[in-house]
Each structure stands twice: as C-alpha cells, then as structure tokens.
Structure 1
Amino acid sequence: MQTQRETKHLGQTRLAIKAGVILILSLCLLIPLSMIRGQINERGNYLQQVKRDIASSWTGNQTLLTPVLVQPYTTQPSSGDSPPKTRYKLIPLLESQLLVDATVEMRARGIYRVPVYTADVVISGRVDRAHWGQSIKDLLAKKNVTSVLPAYIAVGVSDQRGIDNSIGVQVGEQSVKATPGTGIADYEGGFSFQLPQAQNQDELTAIATAFAGPKPVNAIGQNSSAEKDQFVVNFAMRGMSNLRLIPTASSLNVRLHSRWPHPKFHGAFLPQEKNITPQGFSAAWRVNGFNANSEERLQSCSDSGCKALADTGFGVELFQPVDAYLQTERALKYGILFIAICFAAFFIFESVGGINIHPIQYALVGVTLAIFYLLLLALAEHIPFYAAYTIAAGSCCLLLLEYLSAMLGRRRRAAIFCGCLAVLYAKLYVILQMEDFALLMGSLMMFALLALLMITTRNIRWHEATAQKTSALLPTAR
C-alpha cells in the first residue's frame, strides 16, 4: 500500500515538473516569435521609406480643393500710416461637376512596389452671380474695406508637382489662361484663372448693384449672364495611392473611374453609387451645401484657417489587399496558439500513451512552428501570398512528419498529427482572408480547439495514468 502511494505521489510530481518545463519552453518560444515580429515591422518600415522615396520623385498623396470663387479686397488698417492689406473672401460656386479617370501603374524600388496614378480631370461649374454680388455689396459696406479687386476661380492641389503643364480653361465661349497658385493660405498649391466679366472695380460694383439685394434676379438678366458664369477646366494630375477631394460648391457631383480593382473609400462622404469589378471600379458622390455646410466652412477658412473645411474631405485609396507584412503579422498573432496546441497534444501522448518526450524535442518542434512565420515573410516578398503560405506550411508539415515519426514511435501517429496541423494552417489562411470577420472566425476556432481538447480528454484519469506510467518505469523489486 505504501509503495502504491509513493508511486502515485512520484507520478504526480513528475507530471507537475513536466508541465512546468513545458510551460517554461512555451514562454521561451515567445522570444523568437517576438524577433520575427520585429523583422516584420522592420521590413514594413522599409516599404514606407520606399513610398517616401517615390513620393519625392513622383508626387505624394493628392488632395484636390474643388473650384471656389475667390474675391480679393483691400482693407485699411486702423493706423493710417500702414499700407492697405489684401484679404480674400471665399465664395461657393452655385454648382460644380468633376469627372476623374485615373490610370494606375506600379512603381518599384527593389522588391517593393507602390501604385501611382495619373488622373485626367474635367471640371465644369457655374458661378452663383447673385451670391457673388451680395458678397461684394457686404464687403463694400464695411468701413475698413477700401476696394474690391478682380475675382478669380481657384483650384487647389496639395502637391503642385503633379499638375500637368497643359491646363485648358474655357469661361463661356472664351479661352482663359491659368496661372500657378491660389492665394488661399492653406491651399497655396494649384492654379487659378480670372473671370473675364469682372476685371475692374466698376464691373464688380455693377455686379453688386444688379444682382445683390432681397429681390430675385429677373429671368432676362439671369439668362444673359448664364453662359458667362459657366466654365470648364481640364488637366492631368499625378499622385500616389490616395486621392482626396474637398467640396466647396453649393452642389457638387463627382464621378471617378479607374481600372484598379481594389478601392478603399474614405472620408466624410461615402459614394452614393459604386461598382467594383475585377476590371476596375467607378463611384459617384453628390454633396450639397447643406450636408457639407460649405459656406460657413469657407467663411471660417477666409478668417482663421481651413481645418473645418478639410474635415469634409472624401476620396479613395488604391488599396493593396495582399500586403505581405500585414498578412504575416496577422498570422503571427496565432503563433503561440499553434505552439500551445502542439505541446498539449504531445503532453497527452506522453501521459497516456507510454511515450517519453524529452524537453529538447518539445523545443525543436516549437522552433519549427516559429520558423514557419519567418519562411512566410521571406517568401511573400517575392511570390504571391497564397503561394508563399502553401510552401511555408507544407515545408514545416513535411519536416515535422519525418521528425515525429521517430519521436512518437509510429509514422501513423505522426501522419495524423501533421494532417491535423495542415488543417489548422488551412483554417488560419481562410481567417486571414476574412478582413471583416477575422476576429470572429479566430475566436470561434480557438473555442472549437479548446472544446475538442476538453472533450477528447474528459475520461482520462490523470492520476491513474501517471501512476501506471511511473510504476512501469520503476525497477521491479526482487
């Protein structure tokens, strides 16, 4: 009886020691997983550096300030000796339409590739002459305003290097020359063009007198000025990865088309119409002065800054869905789970199957599972992610099949173990492709594995199993 109790106690002690050693090994394997994570971050930083290098020689992400009417005026400071200052009032257009056709190509630096685009932009719009006239009248009514200057239409571009030299401008039936710059403090890059119907003080005063006031504009005056108030602009603009538009008109319609199959829409307004196919995408936005609050934000831009106006921006990113670094980092989050599952399986084999597995063998298997992620990262930089994943997972499974055949004593056991591991790798790949449901599917997989482990081991009498194994290893008393 005493011998049985000692044997049982010895078995429990060995079980506790072995479990402690396995736990320590699992924690130690977090070190190579952390080193691999650092390598992923380092390679990802190289990609960001490549993007900055390409932006310095091509252009960066573009922000396009849609056309806005700029009315300059001069003010006399309170101190009479100071010279007059020129200020700008931003007036929203009555309506504006943008047609954008973006041609995408890939620019490479070594193994890194970044999408860039050349966008053919056609802008048509119409000046709100009544609003314009009322604005001039309000300006001239101020005591410190001495005069109003010729007004112009401004189109802002964040990176002016991306604008093609040939800019076509048609105001009514007259061709107008575009000049660099906008005169808007926060959006100085871009171009502008004068309005032929308002080139001097007398004309601007006449507009204020004829079109401002509580009475509506008569139909004859409206028709006579309609053609003069309309304009069409066409130009080409280069950019990288991202195109953002800032609405300024009382009514803005945007249509954007590209042959890039992976758009990512963002900003304050999502497209009201969109069509995405493997051959490309098209999208349409409709923004008005009520939901964008254009006039108030333009007034704020004139007085203090354009941050409120910038908050209404929207656009599209040329998204790269197969990002080797993002996908590998997401896969690495399940690394410790794979190691824990494998170690738990070995521990069960060892406890109830009469197999002795050395801690070094545990460590070698764990390192093999960690090397999978390093192989995946290295291969995914040169070949498609699905191919890199297949090669890395297949290589690790074949290596473990050969090693476990000797370690577990039977090739069938090793084949079953490696088959289950291959299924786990396949499930992980499916989870990685589900961007919106990745967390849900990953949580369900972890719960299912835990449930499977608990159900399959629910009838094991751990104390009896360890006692029998310990007594079998003890020398027989003579």
Structure 2
Amino acid sequence: MRQTQSMDTQSTKETPTGKLESVRYSLGFRSILIGFIAAAMLLPLFMAKQVVSDRTYYYRTAISSIAKTWGTQQVIAGPVLVVPYTEHIINIDTVTDDKGETKTISRDVFNNKTMVLLPKQLNIDAEVIEKHRKRGIYDALVYQAQIEMTGTFDLGTLPDKTSSKNDIQWKNAWLAVGVSDTKAIDETFPLRWNNDASSPLMPGTMLPNLLPQGFHVKMKDLEREIVLPKFRIKFNVNGSEGLSFAPVGETSTANIHSGWPHPSFIGDIPPVKSDVKANGFDAHWRVPNIARNYPQQWLLGEEKHDLYALKSGVKLFTPISLYAKIERAVKYGVLFVGLTFLTFLIFEITTKTRFHVIQYGLIGLALSMFYIILLSLAEQITFRMAYLYAATATVSIITLYTIAILKSFGRVMLILLFLSSLYAVLYFILQMEDYALLAGAGTMMLIIMVLMFATRNLEHDS
C-alpha cells in the first residue's frame, strides 16, 4: 500500500519534467528557437551591409575626386555668332513756337545693339575614347572626346549693311562655344572660316548669362561678305560619365562613336539611329529647330533664352558595378540564413540528429562572413574569382564543421550540394540586369517546392 502510494507520488513529480522535455524536443519549439537564432543573424548581416555601404561611399568619393581633376560630365552648346551693330534712327518732331509758327525738327538717335545668331546648319561629330584612371584600389571610367563641329551661318539675317541706318561692327563680333567644364579641354585647333581663313580659340565666351563657360573666336580678321560661310571647330575635351550636346542649329545633326559597348542614351531626344555592338556603338541624332523653344536669332539683353533647355547625348554606362553586386548579394543574406537553417532542421528530422543552438549560431556567422570575404577579395581581384573563393571558403567551413558534428561524411553531402547550388544560383542572379527579379522569384518558388516535398510526411508533435 505504501509502495503504491510512493510510486504514485513519484509519477506525479516526474510528470511536469516529462512534459517540459516533450515541449523542449518538439518540432514546434525547435522551429521557433531556430527562427529566433536566424533573426539574431540580422545583426551581423546588418554590419556587413554597413561595411559595403562605407566602401561604396569611399568608392564614390574617389570617383568624384578623379572626375574633378580629369573632367566632369560635358555638355557642348553652340556655336553662336554675336554681332554688335549701331542702329541709326532719325526722329522727326513737329513743334509750334510761341508765335504759332510750326517747325519740323529732326534728331539723330544711335542705339547700340547686339544680335545673337545661331547656325543654319550644325553638324557635330564626336569620337569618345574610354579611359581608366585609378585612385588607390578604385578604378574610374573616364573618356577623351575628339569633337568636330561644322556647319553654316546665314549672314543674310543680319541687319542690312548697305543701309545707312545700320553700322555693323564686324571687327567686334565673335563666335562662342559653350563647354560645361572648360578646365578639361585638352587640345584646340584654330577656327576654319569658309575653308580659307582661320582664327585661334580664346578663353571665355563673353556671354556669362547665355554660355557661362566655354571659349570664343574673334571675327575681325575673318570675311563677312559671304552669305553662307562655312565653319569648322575642332577640339579635344576630357570628361566622365557622359557627353551631351545642345541642338542649336536650324537643323542639327550629331554622330557619336565609341568603343565602349554599354551606352545609355540620355537627354530629351533619343537618337534616330543607333548601332550597339560588343566592340562599341554608333549613334546618330537629327533635330530640327521646331523641337526647341528659342528662335534662330535675337537681340542680346532684350530677350533671354536657355540654350541648355534641350539637349541629348550618351552616358557611358557601367553594367552592375562591383559594389552594387555585393549590395544586392547582401539583400539575399536573410534568405540564405533562413534556408540553410531550415535545411539543417529538416536534416534533424529525417536523420534523428540534433544540432546545438550554438552550432546554429556559428553556421549563421559563417554565412554572414561570406559577404565581408567577397568584398575584401573583389576590391583586389576580379569579381568572378572573388566570388568563387568566398563561396568555396564558406561552404567548406560549414561542410567540415558539419562532418565534425555528425561524424559522418556521407550524410553531409546533401548539405554540401545544397549550399553549393545556392551560391551558384545567387552568382547567376547577380550577373543579370533586366531579369534579376524574375530569376530570384523563380528560384524562391523552386526552393519552396523542394522544401514542401521534403516535409510532406511530417507528423504532429506527440
């Protein structure tokens, strides 16, 4: 009797412990615990993202510094012909004196005016030669552009020189070209005027409100008697990021050639024809003056117009830069940790083996270190080799650690295969531009389907 009562008491005391152990080893509790560990891995992933952000900032600072010394994004506007003249007006007034006599008095009025004349025909031909400049470990894509501007001016639109009412001061006239970053002008050639005269280029446009920066040419030694004189302006300019032009001609055409295979056409009007190949691109624009909102000529000081309001050009686009790739890779970090932990959890269920929570944490840290290793290597070697080394190191560490835990090489092959496939898929997603989101979504659906298949026979916790 006493023995039975003692056994009942012992059974009563052991029941809470048995329930605690049952909850502790249940699938639901393990899933929640592993979920908390996976959430804790957001901290090292966030720190890795901060390192990538800092390196990105240093990279952009270095690129900006190189651009300031080499040349910024260039915008070419012009040429414009500026012709001062004196307008002679005779004012005739009729007055009546105190005696009632009417007299006619003529008075000469001289008004100094300046006309701005845009080209009738403008052709721009630019050869963009890509170059690379390094600042420490950072590499910047820059260019040197060989620009040739040809066309004609219609001098018939100037005030009539045969009239005594107008005195054109051709010796004070000048031709101006706007260049957004003049300190990057590398080489210049004299202006060719109607193929038989030339004049050197001089600094400044003398039009601070219309063309703040650029150069000009004095017209005093150049012929003015020709109605449609031809001009040719040739110069070399350094720049970075992109090259644009303002279509100031009555009819403007532009041709830009380059050996860079990744152009991005920018501006208000796209090219009418472009040919992009692996060894470079050719682009052609044709813009009539009806596309802009300023006239062909006007009086300086009486009208204000913005020649930069309409422009087109090309940007030397760098497809998915190094830091953009790594930043995108970090965004998949939570997915990597979650899927890896879920794989280990399924491995526990199917093999009746349990991993310690500390082991989960160390595996999560190894996954987080992948991005730091990738970043440090990619700044020194090619991204492909850096990714291969970083992924191999991460997968190898986790695989060897799992072998040491399970004391079995054969069981770990599935984990090795899964991690290797995961990093391989991520690499191909990072290489994509237009289809990266589609590939990522498809990969996620495939992984979910595989996990559903692996967990199809799970039973409720007893």
Tell whether the structures are fold-level matches, with TM greater than 0.5.
yes
The alpha carbon displacement at 1:131 in A equals 4.8
What letter matches 1:114 in structure 2? A
Quote the sequence identity (%). Answer: 32
**Shift in alpha-carbon separation, 1:185–1:73, aligned structure 2, 3 A:** farther
**Shift in alpha-carbon separation, 1:187–1:86, aligned structure 2, 3 A:** farther
| In structure 2, C-alpha distance between the alignment counterparts of 1:327 and 1:373, rounded to whole Å | 11
- Secondary structure (helix, strand or coil) at the match of 1:104 reads strand
Q: In 2, are the aligned partners of 1:73 and 1:88 still within 8 Å (CA)? A: yes
| In structure 2, C-alpha distance between the alignment counterparts of 1:288 and 1:407, rounded to whole Å | 75
| In structure 2, C-alpha distance between the alignment counterparts of 1:27 and 1:171, rounded to whole Å | 73
Alignment correspondent of 1:61: 73
**Shift in alpha-carbon separation, 1:72–1:191, aligned structure 2, 3 A:** same
What letter matches 1:95 in structure 2? Q
Q: In 2, are the aligned partners of 1:90 and 1:302 still within 8 Å (CA)? A: no
| In structure 1, C-alpha distance between the alignment counterparts of 2:300 and 2:415, rounded to whole Å | 67
Alignment correspondent of 1:433: 431
Equivalent positions of 1:335-346 (< 5 A) are: 335-346=333-344
Alignment correspondent of 2:104: none
Aligned: 1:225 with 2:223: no
Higher helix share: 1
| In structure 2, C-alpha distance between the alignment counterparts of 1:60 and 1:174, rounded to whole Å | 33
What letter matches 1:355 in structure 2? T
Alignment correspondent of 2:213: 189
The alpha carbon displacement at 1:300 in A equals 12
Alignment correspondent of 2:376: 378
- Secondary structure (helix, strand or coil) at the match of 2:355 reads coil
Structure 2: runs of 5 or more not aligned: 1-11, 88-109
**Shift in alpha-carbon separation, 1:423–1:177, aligned structure 2, 3 A:** same
Q: In 1, are the aligned partners of 2:76 and 2:244 still within 8 Å (CA)? A: yes
Per-residue CA deviations over 1:277-328 (Å, capped at 9, x if unaligned) read 333222222222233445399999984563xx43422222223335221110
Equivalent positions of 1:130-141 (< 5 A) are: 130-132=156-158
Alignment correspondent of 1:221: none
Equivalent positions of 1:85-164 (< 5 A) are: 90-132=116-158, 150-164=172-186
- Secondary structure (helix, strand or coil) at the match of 1:413 reads coil
Equivalent positions of 1:64-463 (< 5 A) are: 64-71=76-83, 90-132=116-158, 150-172=172-194, 173-182=196-205, 183-185=207-209, 187-195=211-219, 225-226=227-228, 229-293=229-293, 295=295, 303-304=303-304, 306=306, 309-321=307-319, 323-461=321-459, 463=460
- Secondary structure (helix, strand or coil) at the match of 1:20 reads helix
What letter matches 2:52 in structure 1? I
Higher strand share: 2
| In structure 2, C-alpha distance between the alignment counterparts of 1:247 and 1:400, rounded to whole Å | 61
Q: In 2, are the aligned partners of 1:71 and 1:151 still within 8 Å (CA)? A: yes
Q: In 2, are the aligned partners of 1:260 and 1:279 still within 8 Å (CA)? A: yes
Structure 1: runs of 5 or more not aligned: 76-83, 208-223, 468-478
| In structure 2, C-alpha distance between the alignment counterparts of 1:430 and 1:298, rounded to whole Å | 57
| In structure 2, C-alpha distance between the alignment counterparts of 1:26 and 1:153, rounded to whole Å | 68
Q: In 2, are the aligned partners of 1:114 and 1:241 still within 8 Å (CA)? A: no
| In structure 1, C-alpha distance between the alignment counterparts of 2:293 and 2:392, rounded to whole Å | 57
The alpha carbon displacement at 1:335 in A equals 0.7
**Shift in alpha-carbon separation, 1:92–1:349, aligned structure 2, 3 A:** same
Alignment correspondent of 1:78: none
Alignment correspondent of 2:50: 38
| In structure 1, C-alpha distance between the alignment counterparts of 2:358 and 2:213, rounded to whole Å | 64
| In structure 1, C-alpha distance between the alignment counterparts of 2:37 and 2:336, rounded to whole Å | 14
| In structure 2, C-alpha distance between the alignment counterparts of 1:411 and 1:169, rounded to whole Å | 78
The alpha carbon displacement at 1:193 in A equals 2.2
Q: In 2, are the aligned partners of 1:249 and 1:294 still within 8 Å (CA)? A: no
The alpha carbon displacement at 1:350 in A equals 2.1
TM-score (norm 1): 0.78
What letter matches 1:267 in structure 2? G
Q: CA-atom RMSD, angstroms? A: 3.5
- Secondary structure (helix, strand or coil) at the match of 1:156 reads strand
Q: In 2, are the aligned partners of 1:322 and 1:385 still within 8 Å (CA)? A: no
**Which has the larger displacement, 52-61 or 103-112?**
52-61
Q: In 1, are the aligned partners of 2:188 and 2:201 still within 8 Å (CA)? A: no
The alpha carbon displacement at 1:12 in A equals 4.8
The alpha carbon displacement at 1:413 in A equals 2.6
The alpha carbon displacement at 1:333 in A equals 0.9
2:61 to 49, 54, 60: 49
What letter matches 2:438 in structure 1? L
Q: In 2, are the aligned partners of 1:156 and 1:189 still within 8 Å (CA)? A: yes
**Which has the larger displacement, 373-382 or 184-193?**
184-193
**Which has the larger displacement, 91-100 or 185-194?**
185-194
Q: In 1, are the aligned partners of 2:186 and 2:237 still within 8 Å (CA)? A: yes
What letter matches 1:327 in structure 2? K
**Shift in alpha-carbon separation, 1:85–1:392, aligned structure 2, 3 A:** farther
Per-residue CA deviations over 1:160-207 (Å, capped at 9, x if unaligned) read 1122353221111221232222214253211122446999xxx8xxx9
**Shift in alpha-carbon separation, 1:355–1:250, aligned structure 2, 3 A:** same
| In structure 2, C-alpha distance between the alignment counterparts of 1:441 and 1:326, rounded to whole Å | 17
Q: In 1, are the aligned partners of 2:75 and 2:180 still within 8 Å (CA)? A: yes
What letter matches 2:211 in structure 1? Y
| In structure 2, C-alpha distance between the alignment counterparts of 1:346 and 1:296, rounded to whole Å | 74
| In structure 2, C-alpha distance between the alignment counterparts of 1:373 and 1:198, rounded to whole Å | 65
Q: In 1, are the aligned partners of 2:320 and 2:433 still within 8 Å (CA)? A: no
The alpha carbon displacement at 1:71 in A equals 4.7
